[in-house]
Structure 1
Amino acid sequence: MGQGGGDDGKVLDIRISDIKAAAPMFHTQATNLSTALTNLVTTLDGLGKPWGDDEQGKAFGAKYSPQQHTIEKAAGILVLGLTSIHEALVDMADGHVDNDLLIQGMFTKVKATRPGSDGADQAGGGGAR
């Protein structure tokens, strides 16, 4: 970073607008995955073992049934992960705004004047004594 041939010298280029634009996508996808997981669980529970009693159905059931709870748990973890990313991006964007304001305040030039002075240089300029 900062040393490549075509590099513009930027180490990290974070745009708050990009973070804020990306955050809702993770929330939407978490909601979609949660809905799909709920549909999967409730439908399969309601249907029992809908894959049938033929050779292919038995083969599928033999592989799926022992892993069903693991699959459901993994999908639930993905929902939580997507939700966490959404929340982290929102917090990160807010943090960058707060940090930018703090840094701006640290580097704002403040003109110091001494009481009773007109703001002229008081450092002992070049006058004769």
Structure 2
Amino acid sequence: MGDGNDSGKVLDIKTADIKSTAPVFHTQGKNLSTALTTLVTTLDGLGAPWGDDEQGKSFGDAYRPQQRAIEKAAGTLVLGLISIHEAMTDMADGHVDNDELIAGMFTKVQSKDGDDHDRGAK
């Protein structure tokens, strides 16, 4: 899909791929959360560890006014990664449920009179 080779498939969803990929977003969300917590607690504990030299002052002047916005943005990324994990898991489950529903519509069932009837037909 999107590679220029038209296989005739509109959508090729493999639930196994979705289910195997979804946890990566959760893991990376946790890793980013840990890194963010470490950054915040370390910098808050150290005060202004970038120093008093010209580069340190320049960094501090640029970083301090934006510090909370940077932390908030990173927190939003953490929530985004976790929500992608949840959405992919839900999507995979929904895809399986949908496949089963569609398969059920086209399954022949044996009626009491011995004739085959489409399960979804009325």
Quickly say closer, same or farther: Cα 1:71–1:102, change in 2 above 3 A. same
Q: What do the CA deviations read for 1:75-103 (whole angstroms, capped 9, x no partner)?
A: 00000000000000000111111111111
Aligned CA distance change for structure 1 residues 41 and 6 (closer, same or farther; 3 Å)? closer
Give the SS at the match of 1:110.
strand
The match for 2:23 is 24
Question: TM-score, normalised to structure 2's length?
Answer: 0.87
**CA deviation after TM superposition for structure 1 residue 27, in Å:** 0.4
Report 1:20-99 matches (<5 A): 20-99=19-98
Runs of 4+ in 1 over 3 A off after TM superposition: 111-114
Shift of 1:113: 5.4
Question: Which is greater in Rg?
Answer: 1
Aligned-pair CA distance for 1:25: 0.4
SS at match of 1:22: helix
Which of 1 and 2 has higher RCO (CA within 8 Å, sep 6+)? 1
What is the TM-score of this pair, normalised by structure 1? 0.82
CA deviation string 1:22-52 (max 9, x = no partner):
0010001000000000000000000000001
Give the letter aligned to residue 23 of structure 1. Answer: A
Unaligned runs of 5+ in 1: 120-129
Offset of residue 109 of structure 1: 1.8
5+ residue gaps, structure 2, are 116-122
1:19 counterpart letter in structure 2: I
Please give the root-mean-square deviation of Cα atoms over the aligned residues, in Å: 1.8
In the alignment, which residue of structure 1 is the partner of 2:13? 14
Matched residue SS, 1:9: coil
